[in-house]
Amino acid sequence: MTFITIAVFVILLILGIPISLVLGITTVIYFLINGQALLLESTPLRMFSGLENFGLLAIPLFMLMGEIMNEGGITTRLVNFAKLILGHFRGGLAYVTVVANMFLASILGSANAQAAMMSKVMVPQMEKEGYKREFAGAITLASSIIAPIIPPSMIFIIYGTLSSTSIGAMFMAGILPGILYGGAFMGMIAYMGYKHNFPKSKRSSFKEIFQGILKTLPALLIPLIVVVGILRGIFTATESAAVACFLAIIIGLFVYRELDIKKFPKMLVNTVTNTATVTFLIIMANIFGWMIAFEQIPQLMADLILSFTESPWVFLLLVNVLLIVVGMLIDGIAALVILVPVLMPLVHALQIDPVHFGVIICINLTLGLLTPPVGTGLFIVSSMADIKFERLVKAVFPFIIVSVIVLFIITYIPDLVLVIPRFLGF
């Protein structure tokens, strides 16, 4: 890769050009500068072939499911149920935010979508009950990173597609780490609640809790049926997205009766728009990865790292540091598509389990949503909740520290990731 190509890549990033266009423009310039006209002629075919993967079909379907769930009253019931269970504790609404995000993570699978939705739902409510707005935004943003960890997960689908790893195994591998993150955030809330004397609400009666369970049960059936269906071999992880959409429609129309048929065109347009954004990014990253492979960068990087160490543990440390830095600068999905082809040869050479590594890399890059200067989650919550960017960054910092600690626990205790997939035979 020439100096000019690297300079173009960096300049375009600094100018704030969308990362998908940065990848595409850089690749075309590289081919032109190096006289690779034949490769340039093959680029359209390469772009198309990058989407020829059955697993990618799950992305628009899970996005559609999120739209249906929001319009069908499922989201509201999940949040209300979490409030019934936890609202009476000191800092109860903060706990509710974490638990509600864990519920929604089992349905949405997108951190950005979850952060945007929960900012509108929880931040005004928390401020009304006496919480500082920046803290409300920080806990909403931090707990939204659970979405890509607990199945189903869009980023797991993309990783599984790129690395030829079982998507079903990835889904199962995310369960314990997702619960661990939820527990860690609750621990931080407990400490801060004691220190700052957070408010609490009235304890719900047994009758109210029982009624809440009955109202929420249909919504909770969606992730339950999806997981059981995958484990029993009734449908694949990709097909589960279609099943989840069908269940969300049935529940929204006939159980909660809040889903309006007239809103389907708008939901479909939103799904197509969001899918096109992700798909275009995958296409551009695919040809960028092709350029990287042509330059033999994966082999060069493998030789460089192996010259430093042949220890899997040191390699994982170096990768985590690298990914934390990359996550600060590049969107998580873009970084995933770029880095997986580069790092997978090393993963196999050092005999690291690809499922364990997949969870590590996906969580690590998801943390980029919380970190400046390019943390998209920060901009989403700042905009949706009307919080100054600098104040939100300061408020979310303790949760970033907790997130990194949990990341290293997951990195060096592989059984936290692998115990469920192994038990289920993946």
Q: What is the pLDDT of residues 149-204, one digit of tens each?
A: 887 777 888 888 888 888 888 988 998 998 999 899 989 988 887 777 776 667 77
Residues 59 and 41 in one domain: no
Residues 13 and 112 in one domain: no
The pLDDT of residue 322: 81
Q: Which domain holds residue 29?
A: 1-49
The pLDDT of residue 173: 92
The pLDDT of residue 45: 76
The pLDDT of residue 98: 85
Residues 390 and 314 in one domain: yes
The pLDDT of residue 225: 80
The pLDDT of residue 360: 93
Residues 133 and 275 in one domain: yes
What one-letter code names the amino acid at 270? N
Residues 208 and 331 in one domain: yes
The pLDDT of residue 271: 82
Check if the beta carbon of residue 157 is closer than 8 Å to that of residue 237.
yes
Residues 102 and 127 in one domain: yes
Kindly report the backbone phi and psi dihedral angles of residue 113, in degrees, each rounded to the nearest multiple of 5, phi listed first: -65, -40
Residues 76 and 201 in one domain: yes
The pLDDT of residue 293: 67
Residues 124 and 16 in one domain: no
Residues 17 and 148 in one domain: no
Residues 43 and 55 in one domain: no
**What pTM value is reported for the model?**
0.74
Residues 77 and 37 in one domain: no
The pLDDT of residue 357: 94
Check if the beta carbon of residue 74 is closer than 8 Å to that of residue 108.
no
Q: State which residues of the chain have pLDDT below 50.
A: none
Residues 299 and 190 in one domain: yes
The pLDDT of residue 180: 93
CA 417 distance to own-chain centroid: 16
* Cα–Cα distance measured from residue 402 to residue 407, given in angstroms and rounded to the nearest whole number: 9
* Cα–Cα distance measured from residue 89 to residue 107, given in angstroms and rounded to the nearest whole number: 26
The pLDDT of residue 193: 79
The domain total for the chain is 2
The pLDDT of residue 413: 93
